[in-house]
Structure 1
Amino acid sequence: MNTGNLRKRIAVIGSGFSGLSAAAYAAKSGNEVHVFEKHNQPGGRARQFKTDKGYVFDMGPSWYWMPDIIERFFNDFDCKVSDFFTLVSLDPQFEMVFSGEKVSVPGDNDAIRDLFEATESGAGNQYDRFMESARFKYEIGMKEFVTKPCYSWREFASLKIANSALKLDLLSNFRKYVSGYFSDEKLKSLMEFPVIFLGASPQQIPALYSLMNYGGYVLGTKYPMGGFYQLVLAMKEVGEKQGVTFHFNHEVQKINTEKGKVSSILVDGKTYEFDAVIASSDYHHTERLLPKSLRNYKDEYWKTRTFAPSCLIYYLGIRGRIPHLKHHTLFFENELDNHIDCIYKNKKWPKKPLFYTCCPSKTDPDVAPEGCENLFLLLPLAPGIHDEEPVREKYLMEMLERIEKHTGETDLISRIEYKRSYCVSDFISDYNAYEGNAYGLSNTLSQTAVLKPKIRNRKIGNLFYTGQLTVPGPGVPPSVISGKIVAAEVSKLKIK
């Protein structure tokens, strides 16, 4: 019998951030690693496409937060981010539009503190207190808490975590926690907004995730020149230097098992034998590649989970500049809770939506033709709802009207040189995403750590899962961490 530290032949399904990470770490441990990707390029939701007119669109992630976590990945392979792309700090980090006014969040943390104090007397000191606590959560959470495979609560029995338990605020909800520091509604919205990326109402998210505020506001909002896809290409290159082989336009159709182990995978009608499989594909979809008796979870389980939102996205190429639009802008003129209820309670299109715009051409001249703008619009939605084109267009018109009101521009619709929409049904067809979710499972208390879907199949010892539907959760840095966690577990695997 071979021991766990000997060379294994490993298949990775999917090349999103968790798959890229898992592949690189597994190969670094001396294994033969093959990545199978159904699309013609790596990245999963973070793919990129270009148009004939010279627009370059990142398809998914656009917020480069927690830069230290991403830097740590490259450091593990004796390199650094700057070896691959140029990372710039945004100032302002973003602008938030409220009814009748707007707030720009500066790139400098001291300037953010001054903004808070100018908005509400005493809020500057409260901001310092909030961020000091958030820094503590970030250092413990991102270095200790989210790095566990989460088979059992016993993994969290370390002295450091035990001593930090109360300070981590695991049992407090985020909204109540923020209200304990600030009274002004705009300031509360500024602090609540980052946890929306975690896929639930601030009332359902543990206060632990104030670490997001630190990872964003204090460490700063970055942008990789050339687009977020530069991170994908860099991670792919790291993997290739470790010996990873990538197979694009290769879709995995079945996971074959024998005597409680994965024996091979069926890819486009051809069988490939492996010692272990790491699935960074949608967890629910991966399980459907197995017989029902060998799945970790029945369909009923997934129906009871709280999923992060799906979204309506528009990729727009705009002729001419939009001078008063920032790189990142959040349109929060309407009530947050009403929109959230449409996602988690009523499961319908919102009547008064909130949305987000990214205009990377404000920072990067190479993502749009000279004198034009690259515009990415995102409106969060309930997973599973119908997304016919006329409905998409209706919301596009509303978003454009609100952008015009904010910027003073007129008739943006007539300046559109390129337009592509992307919504629930596209997430299903492109990524096999359960009900077309965009961000995985919500990080609610009942879906945190050990309570998330397990990273290892309970019945098939050499099948593992990674990505946003398991630990640590949604987001780019957590997905990178997820891949590292799973690769470490596979390295322990003993094969015959």
Structure 2
Amino acid sequence: MNNIDVKRQRSKVAVIGSGFAGMAAASVLASKGADVTVFEKNSMTGGRARTFEHEGFTFDMGPSWYWMPDVYEKFYNLFGKTTSDFYELKKLDPGFAVIFPGDEVWDIPADFDQVCDLFEAVEPGAGSKLRKFIADGEHKYEVGMNKMVYKPGHSITEFFSLSLFRDALNIDLFTSFSKFVRQYFKDPRLLALIEFPVLFLGAMPKDTPALYSLMNFSGLKQGTFYPMGGFGQVAKAFEKIASETGVEIKTSETVGFLEVSGSAIHTLYSNGQPHSVDAVIGSADYEHIERSMLHDQYRSYPASYWESRTFAPSCLLFYLGINKKINRLRHHNLFFDESFELHAEEIYKDKKWPTKPLFYVCCPSRTDDSIAPAGCENLFVLMPIAIGLVDTEEIRNEYFEKLMNRLEHFAQEDIRSHILFKRSYAKEDFIDDYNAYKGNAYGLANTLMQTAIFKPKMKSKKIKNLFYAGQLTVPGPGVPPSIISGRIAATELLKSLNGSL
């Protein structure tokens, strides 16, 4: 990337959306000399990683798991920075806790040897098998995150080199994650622990390539981290880099239309005002950009295409400010006290509000005193749900009571009467705030037929100066993939700026 330079006359590039993909793309483009403007419809940058404050509480609205720290570090290094220039990164110990039926609690240690000991205690032989499983995941991480993931996904020819073809055969791209895991472990609790990243961010484990065991390597071997001050500090770091590289950031700017002439966009309309452009990167919702900002003949994919895709979950969220400490909670708490398989079926197959949901509680105030008043807890409660469900206040309240019943049972104390602040967030909010297709929270599921070249194309099929970035194109959902997506989109656009534009 460092060898690519734009033409001497500064090309005007518009980036739609200020999430991680958009800000990464904008910063790379600006660092190479492009005149970049980011258009953000909301009042602050960060996309799903926005924050809000209320009477001493600071709530992260979206991401809370900090895995794959090397991806962040590599991005900062592009600009002569390092992670510690922006925030203190703390490794959590335990990394997270899992709650099983009967109030059985597993604390997942930060030390990998101790994780292996835990597996061995549960299932004889599972400790040594975990070492093999994670070593395999580390190999997939090396290949996937350092080689394949930076491919733009234009064509299968990108993988025609002998080494990449050989790597593709060695990373179980065509093996089911569920089948692969069961070659190593039998105990349902171990299986749930291994499969949860796929459920929360991907698809049914049986429909997900075993390639994604690389996530287990990151979570169990690299560890789980927390940026002190909250995940909003990461969004601020990306905004700072963008500003320092010369990006102009316009918030409260809603892009309404992209005017095309001669197969290229020449004018972008935001808040009704025209802006001349040489190129555009759309890091907002891919389907929304095509449907709402372009005439039919310029769309790469019809409505039927999006209807046929398998999406990762949406979610129901509650942000809670509690006026006391809750002793039994860890920083990350996974409530797997109901059936993993049933909830997965109701997200991906039946597509209905869950009967007996799994859920996740983040209590970052256990680690960070700065995000809640003294003596208080900051809670983030998340329940994965199918996309496109009917979302009403009554349904939200019904599930709030269900989840709080189980949370209070686990905590062995009253919580509801100590709530100082409560805010819910679900499908309709994802649509209102992010124009998310059917209220999706995480983009497209990581099924085999939605991996790499099978994802929506990063380069528009109809418009030569329009590129896409973010969780609906390569490489996929999650913060690290979004960062990488922005880098790839910027690199591909820079190539075109050196060409015919």
TM-score (norm 2): 0.97
Aligned residues: 493
Structure 2: how far apart are the matches of 1:315 and 1:329? 15
Q: Which residue of 2 aligns with 1:45?
A: 48
Instruction: Find the aligned partners of 1:4 and 1:244 in 2 and give their Cα distance.
Output: 17
Matches of 2:460 and 2:500 in 1, distance apart?
16
CA distance in 2, matches of 1:169, 1:61: 28
Q: Give matches, 1:90-489, under 5 Å.
A: 90-100=92-102, 101-288=104-291, 289-410=293-414, 412-489=415-492
| Matching residue's letter, 2:460 | N
C-alpha displacement of 1:233: 0.5
RMSD value, Cα: 1.2
Cα distance, 1:188–1:5 mapped onto 2, change above 3 Å: farther
Structure 2 residue aligned with 1:71: 73
Distance 1:452 1:243 in 2: 32
Once residues 244 and 340 of structure 1 are traced to their aligned partners in structure 2, the CA distance between those partners, rounded to angstroms, is 42
CA distance in 2, matches of 1:197, 1:235: 25
Contact preservation (8 Å) 1:316, 1:418: yes
Once residues 197 and 345 of structure 1 are traced to their aligned partners in structure 2, the CA distance between those partners, rounded to angstroms, is: 15
Give the letter for the 1:307 counterpart: F
Q: Distance in 2 between matches of 1:197 and 1:135?
A: 21
The one-letter code matched in structure 2 to 1:454 is K
Distance of 2:457 and 2:346 partners within structure 1: 29
**Residue 166 of structure 1, CA deviation:** 2.6
Structure 1 CA distance for aligned equivalents of residues 162 and 477 of structure 2: 27
> What is the CA distance between 1:392 and its match in structure 2?
0.5
The Cα of 1:337 is off from its aligned counterpart by 1.4
CA distance in 1 between partners of 2:481 and 2:10 (Å):
27
Aligned letter for 1:290? Answer: L
Within 1, Cα distance between the matches of 2:274 and 2:330?
Answer: 50
SS in 2 for 1:435: helix
User: Tell me, what secondary structure is at the counterpart of 1:203?
Assistant: helix
- Determine the C-alpha separation between the residues in 2 that align with 1:6 and 1:28: 14
* Structure 1: distance between partners of 2:367 and 2:201: 26
The residue identity in structure 2 corresponding to 1:80 is T
Correspondence 1:86 to 2:83: no
- Cα offset for 1:7? 2.8
1:337 aligned counterpart, secondary structure: helix
2: distance between equivalents of 1:163 and 1:108? 32
By how many angstroms is 1:495 displaced? 4.6
Name the SS for the 1:486 alignment partner. Answer: helix
Letter in 2 for 1:449: A
User: 2:357 & 2:200 partners in 1: Cα distance?
Assistant: 16
Q: Which amino acid in 2 is paired with 1:181? A: Y
Deviations 1:58-77 (A, max 9, x none): 00000000001111100111
Amino acid at match of 1:331: F
Partner SS state of residue 97, structure 1: strand
Q: Distance in 2 between matches of 1:450 and 1:268?
A: 35
SS of 1:10's partner is strand
> Secondary structure of the equivalent of 1:396?
helix
On the 8 A contact 2:279/2:465 being kept in 1, the answer is: yes
Structure 2 unpaired stretches of 5+: none
Percent sequence identity is 51
Measured against aligned partners, the alpha-carbon deviations of 1:144-187 in whole angstroms (never above 9, x if no partner) come to 11110011011012232222233200111111111100111111
Structure 2 contact 6–494 (Cα < 8 Å) conserved = no
Q: Which residue of 1 aligns with 2:10?
A: 7
Partner amino acid, structure 1, of 2:147: E
CA distance in 1, matches of 2:314, 2:259: 31
Question: How far does residue 4 in structure 1 lie from its aligned partner after superposition?
Answer: 5.8
Amino acid corresponding to residue 447 of structure 1 in structure 2: Q
Partners in 2 of 1:212 and 1:319 — Cα distance? 35
Helix, strand or coil at the partner of 2:373: coil
Q: For 2:17 and 2:456, locate their aligned partners in 1 and report how far apart those are by CA, in whole Å.
A: 18
Q: Specify whether residues 4 and 141 from structure 1 end up closer, same or farther in structure 2 by C-alpha distance, changes over 3 A only.
A: farther
Per the TM alignment, residue 345 of structure 1 is displaced from its structure 2 partner at its CA by 1.6
Aligned partners of 1:344 and 1:231: how far apart in 2?
31
In the TM superposition, residue 3 of structure 1 has moved relative to its aligned partner by: 7.4
